[in-house]
Structure 1
Amino acid sequence: MSFSNDVRNEISTSVNDKDRRFACLYGMLLFCRTLSREHICFQSESRVSAELFSNLFEAVFKYRPAAGEHIRRNGAVLYNCEVEGENAEAVFQKYRLADGARVIDSEIIATNSLGVFTAGVFLACGSVNDPAKEYHLEFACPDEGLASQLVVLLNDIGATAKTMLRRGQNIVYIKGSESIEDTLTFIGASQCTLELMNMKIYKDIRNKANRIANCDAANIDKVVKAAMKQIEDIKLIDKAVGIESLSEELREVAQLRLENTDMSLQEIGENLSEPISRSGVNHRFQKLAKMADELRNGGSIK
């Protein structure tokens, strides 16, 4: 089951009284595919949305729409709910709908029903991506005017909504995770909001773990390269003059490095006969490196 269907299932269970049914059905009607005095057609690929539309319509108008199914070329099932004639006219009268223009009538919806109305809009034309993949919620609106009105409504609740035209269709979309969380909570999908928040926390932790792992890997590579360079210098000195010719402090770190290629500078310092700090060990290796460079340049060790 998709995340969009989780949202639809959750908000459908919250439409449980007369006022909420009226407000939710208003959103579904206003944003449905076809809306005229002669013919109303609600279409959705979601069985949940289609069944809720029929149930709400029957509860409000005491009439059950004609239902049907159509299988698309891609195999998806499209559910249809149709209302015609005097029943369609009754919808226009009850919701004070205008001919030829779809307008959100704020007077119809009490302030505490705006969220349920918007839930109806989501059931009619909304979808939200799986938060494990990306943060994206959108409404495929039936016309430009409704899209503009919906943007205002969403921005009023604190969400950052924008519009775009996709293949001739007016899309209202939200990208930010916090704006999507606000929207889902507003339309009554609080459990899905928590799921999104948990996924965001999981992704943040995973990203931090990956950054730490990458940093650790980079540090390991750096240590290994430094150790190989030190061994190369020591072997060059040994071949030229012998390690025994070195001072006791340089000879001891050189031998420890040759015997322990994976030791860090700090570990070498701790294993000396007289332990010293990491910087002290590094200073001794710098001396050995300088000697090796002099030998490479044809000089001799002073």
Structure 2
Amino acid sequence: MSFSNEVREEIARSITDRDRKFACLYGILLYCRTFHGQQIILQSESPVFAELIPTLFHAVFQTVLKPDVRVTTRGNAQSMYSFTISDPAQIQQICSTYHISPENREINLSNLVNNSLSSFLAGAFFSCGSVIDPNKGYHLEFNTPSELLCNDLQKLLLTIGVRGGQVFRKNMYVLYLKDSEHIEDTLTYMGAQQCTIELMNIKIRKDMRNRANRIRNCDEANIDKVVSAAMRQTEDILWIIRCNRMETLPEELQELAQLRLENPELSLKELGEMLSVPIGRSGVNHRFQKIAAIAKELRSHEK
């Protein structure tokens, strides 16, 4: 399975209540390629997308509105899933429900309630987004159908501190991210926390390999030990963030957690030297033990 589909699978599991489903379907509809008064077509090669669409339409429109479904096989044996709506009355119902003007599509924030903005972004990703395997590089993009929608999406990402670039390619306005931290923030915001951890783990391995190449006398066993410890610490910190408990930690633990996320390749000694009040390796290790204990307690509550 591609990394993009792993992301889609995980964010699909986060689309749970009706508000999230409403927002997700809005993102899919708004950012699909074909949307006009005569026809709406939703297309993807993702099986997750194919399973999600009927669920979303049922949640929002019950049994009143059902797209026509078509599955075609391409030359590479890859299936293409198409959901088509051609009934003018049904198209009008969609436009009325979501306040969409087919001639001038733009984000209407009144459609997004109860913190469902992340689900809307997930819907946009389902409709026009992709992310490459982080083993090959760092690149996430949205192939948007208009300049207005591209600009709107860029403004939305800025609200979570993510800045992307734009390029016009093959009649599509592409919003792209190449900064690994911005990609991590976007994946986490959309609900793909485990994929974020996978990306960060890959980045840690890359950083450690590069560091090993620069330092000839570096011991391979020590690298593995540092990598494993950094991965565990990063997973604990991300779990605490996912549980919205980061702000409840003592300031010294918050500072250390932020430094670890920003510097996954550094040793405990190096992290200790970067603290506002520097401490030794053992002191840093003691603080990480406290973070691990908090994460363990949160995980037990989750179970």
| TM-score > 0.5 by shorter chain | yes
Q: Cα distance 1:47–1:211, how it changes in 2: closer, same or farther (>3 A)?
A: same
Output one character per residue of 1:187-228: Cα deviation in whole Å (capped at 9) or x when no partner: 111111111111111111111112224999xxxxxxxxxxxx
Please name the residue that 1:79 is paired with. 81
- Listed as ranges, the gaps of 5+ residues in structure 2 are 220-303
- Distance (whole Å) between structure 2 residues aligned to residue 93 and residue 46 of structure 1: 28
Query: Does the alignment pair 1:55 with 2:55?
Result: yes
Quickly say closer, same or farther: Cα 1:99–1:65, change in 2 above 3 A.
closer
**What is the Cα deviation at residue 50 of structure 1?**
2.5
Aligned length: 216
User: What stretches of structure 1 move > 6 A for 4+ residues in a row?
Assistant: none
Q: What's the counterpart of residue 124 of structure 2?
A: 121
| Counterpart residue identity of residue 80, structure 1 | S
| 1:208 aligned onto 2:205 | no
Q: Give distance in 2, aligned partners of 1:115 and 1:9.
A: 15
| 1:28 and 1:53 in contact (8 A); partners too | no
Are 1:6 and 1:192, in contact at CA under 8 Å, matched by a contact in 2?
A: yes
Q: TM-score, normalised by structure 2?
A: 0.68
Q: Deviations over 1:277-300 (max 9, x none)?
A: xxxxxxxxxxxxxxxxxxxxxxxx
- Provide the C-alpha distance between the structure 1 equivalents of 2:145 and 2:81, rounded to a whole number of angstroms: 17
Distance 1:73 1:50 in 2: 20
CA drift at 1:8: 0.1
Q: Which amino acid aligns with 1:106?
A: L
Conserved 8 A contact 1:3-1:129 = yes
Question: Which protein shows a greater Rg?
Answer: 1
Whether contact under 8 Å (2:212, 2:218) holds in the other structure is no
- CA RMSD across the alignment: 1.7
Which residue of structure 2 aligns with residue 284 of structure 1? Answer: none
Q: Aligned match of 1:143 in 141, 146, 149? A: 146
- In structure 1, the residue matched to 2:12 is 12
Q: Secondary structure at the match of 2:43?
A: strand
Structure 1 partner of 2:44: 44
Name the SS of the counterpart of 1:160 in structure 2.
Answer: coil
Partner of 2:22: 22
Number of the residue aligned with 2:171: 168
* Corresponding residue number in structure 1 for 2:68: 66
Matched, 1:195 2:198: yes
Residue 142 of structure 2 contacts residue 175 of structure 2 at CA under 8 Å; is this kept in 1?
Answer: yes
> CA–CA distance in 2 between the matches of 1:111 and 1:121?
18
Q: Which residue of 1 is the match for residue 91 of structure 2?
A: 88
CA distance in 1, matches of 2:84, 2:218: 60
Question: Residues 147-169 of structure 1, C-alpha deviation per residue, up to 9 Å, x if partnerless?
Answer: 11111111221112111011222
Whole-Å Cα distance in 1 between the matches of residues 155 and 138 of structure 2? 21
Q: Secondary structure at the match of 1:112?
A: coil
CA drift at 1:113: 0.9
Q: Distance in 2 between matches of 1:87 and 1:76?
A: 30
Report SS of the residue matched to 2:115: helix
Deviations 1:112-138 (A, max 9, x none): 111110000001110001111101000
Equivalent position SS for 1:78: strand
Amino acid at match of 2:177: I
Identity %: 49
**Residue of structure 2 equivalent to 1:112:** 115
TM-score scaled to structure 1, two decimals?
0.68
**Amino acid in structure 2 at the alignment position of 1:3:** F
Q: Is this contact kept in 2: 1:164–1:171, CA < 8 A?
A: yes
Distance 1:99 1:115 in 2: 23
- Find the aligned partners of 1:73 and 1:180 in 2 and give their Cα distance: 31
CA distance in 1, matches of 2:40, 2:55: 15
